[in-house]
Structure 1
């Protein structure tokens, strides 16, 4: 952990490009009981009762099977709402309190657990389950309808609930405000430019619980390296970031659980901050 301490101390005393950024993925929520996506038991590996997600989790599929996609969405919603933030989420909240405006959290997770733990400075690059948006021309983003509840996978959507899943302005189907496989990142919903700006100004980027299988997280890591920041890959196994970071300077690879890595970061930073006061 000596190298980690040296990185944290160096970044903390810098005047420019001194942001501490944490990029999180599904692995951070696994301890809360939410399955990961690409692990051995992951959602994207096992699929659903009907289809593999690369087909099911697309706007193309939604256009023809709205109720079926909503059935699975409400199943996920109920799962997410039944769990609590875990130790990793709590430590990330502690780190934001410690670092204040120098803390930034970029997450691929749509489960709202970071916000429930208390984090505020968050960039949700894959959207979230708190909101819906119109699938038609108006593109309105709205809070998730309060009259539409999470369900077991076998529960039917009631006719009255379907009424609440239609856009109040144009009548088109609403859809979850999340990024599907056949969609591209944008600023309004997915904070593509904001997150890349954060990456550019990061003194250190920590990668936690994500394999880097989508392109924006990889671009975030590339941007931090290009602008002289450190990248710390703190995952339990090799991943898409491993190839990107191999042989690069200003890179640290640590293979351990997110909660253990975050606890080490917190302990070192508490020491560094106390010394500075």
Structure 2
């Protein structure tokens, strides 16, 4: 505990002009009752028992099963809507108020809980379920998912009229959720890859909160922070892909405990650190 406290204080001291960045994953939302992706009760298991995540969560699958994917999307939206932000979400809002423009929040979560808690300076690198875009990419436009479509239970299908609301207003092609699927690549327009890499380059202290490191951009953000002299604290209940990739790096540290517990410690260090 003392070593992590020292690391936090050193990071805060060096961050007078640089960023202090938080990278959040599914583990942050699990305390709100939202299952993680790959656990025994994971969201893929609940909603897609006939598919493996790597096959269901793809544009290829959507191209052949658009109605099924949209039905599952509204099931997920219902799950997210019924959840409430937890202690960790609100702690990040409080920390943002303390750190002001130095605070950056990069999230892999698409559940909208950070926004509902009040976070402002944040980047959604896996998209969100508030928006949709043309599946044929006829334009760069992003549209709100129609609120007229009610949220769905697990096996409740979309009606014909509801499906009619999920077409591109420009070309008439079916729209798709504005999220990143397994067979797609990060880009700046939808997923802020360039922006977040610049943030990481100028980050003195990066905290990984509840992310397993199973996707490419989060690993690139950690690598970028370390390469340019920043420190990284991996806050998770257990070792993960980040541990495997970066455990030998001098400025990479592990904190094995809850995200809420760590953020409480972090807030206390902000308040007693005279350099803030």
**Offset at 1:17?**
6.0
Please name the residue that 1:181 is paired with.
Answer: 182
Please say if residues 11 and 18 of structure 1, whose CA atoms lie closer than 8 Å, have aligned partners that are also in contact.
no
Please name the residue that 1:37 is paired with.
Answer: 37
**Offset at 1:10?**
2.4
| Correspondence 1:74 to 2:85 | no
Q: Which deviates more, 37-46 or 110-119?
A: 37-46
Structure-2 change in CA distance of 1:112 and 1:16 (3 Å): same
Q: How many residues align?
A: 275
Structure-2 change in CA distance of 1:17 and 1:200 (3 Å): farther
Q: Which deviates more, 33-42 or 86-95?
A: 33-42
**Offset at 1:108?**
0.2
Question: Normalising to structure 2: TM-score of the pair?
Answer: 0.95
**Distance between the aligned counterparts of 1:14 and 1:208, measured in 2?**
21
| Correspondence 1:190 to 2:191 | yes
Please name the residue that 1:2 is paired with.
Answer: 2
Alpha-carbon RMSD: 1.5
Please say if residues 196 and 223 of structure 1, whose CA atoms lie closer than 8 Å, have aligned partners that are also in contact.
yes
**Distance between the aligned counterparts of 1:151 and 1:46, measured in 2?**
14
Question: Normalising to structure 1: TM-score of the pair?
Answer: 0.95
Please name the residue that 2:18 is paired with.
Answer: 18
Structure-2 change in CA distance of 1:264 and 1:222 (3 Å): same
Structure-2 change in CA distance of 1:246 and 1:166 (3 Å): same
**Offset at 1:260?**
0.7
Q: Which deviates more, 233-242 or 130-139?
A: 130-139
Please say if residues 17 and 200 of structure 1, whose CA atoms lie closer than 8 Å, have aligned partners that are also in contact.
no
**Distance between the aligned counterparts of 1:170 and 1:17, measured in 2?**
47
**Offset at 1:47?**
6.1
Matches within 5 A, 1:1-277: 1-14=1-14, 18-44=18-44, 48-139=48-139, 140-272=141-273, 275-276=274-275
Gaps of 5+ in 2: none
Please say if residues 46 and 52 of structure 1, whose CA atoms lie closer than 8 Å, have aligned partners that are also in contact.
no
Q: Which deviates more, 169-178 or 133-142?
A: 133-142
